[in-house]
Amino acid sequence: MTVIWTALPTVLLGLLLCFAGQRVARIGLALLGAVIGYLLGQAGYQAVAEAIPGFPVLWQWIFAVAGLLVVGGLAYAFYMVGVLVLMGSLGWQLGWWFGGVVEFDSLWTTIMAVAVAVLAVVAGLVLNVPRLLLVLATALAGAFLIVASTPVLLMPYAQTAWMTWLNSNATLVEVGLVVLGGLVQFGVGGKGNLRASYQ
């Protein structure tokens, strides 16, 4: 049950980013940074635990919370970290998607994801993440979080026909959410670019 409810904040963040990302860019990126920091903290603990057998489990939460606070706080405070969080996560996702389409193995898919993430961050810094790119990036990031977390949140219904359909058509649902979220964001207006959200 704990695992199920931990997915709820991620789904809510996905909805916020997908449908209101440009309006609340700074807060949204801080929350996205917190999620990324949490995952990095978990990964850091796993690496240490594998190197040091018997490493206390309590440190798993210390690592995770520290990552959450540090990355989330930096993403809120500094524009460049916000760009890194938004465009880096977008590039990473696109790189993994492309690697899967061309059927790369896990190593080359990871290399592809890192390369696309770096290019996306550079493009974001050079272009100041204009409104069009900001809307598309937040809609895509939000859609990914929604689609990835909803099956966990609704795990008790995993055997139902509609959940089976959702799992089988995750990419289609994600594309639909990106289009719908983009239309909603363009309809409500917003600032000219991401940098304006930090001023």
Does residue 185 surpass a pLDDT of 80? yes
In angstroms, what CA-CA distances link 149 with 7, 145, 153? 6, 6, 6
Q: How many domains does the chain have?
A: 1
pTM of the model as a whole: 0.80
Range of the domain at 14: 2-197
pLDDT tens digits, one per residue of 81-128: 988 988 888 888 888 888 877 778 888 888 888 898 899 888 888 887
DSSP 35-57: HHHHHHHHHHHHHHHHHSTT--T
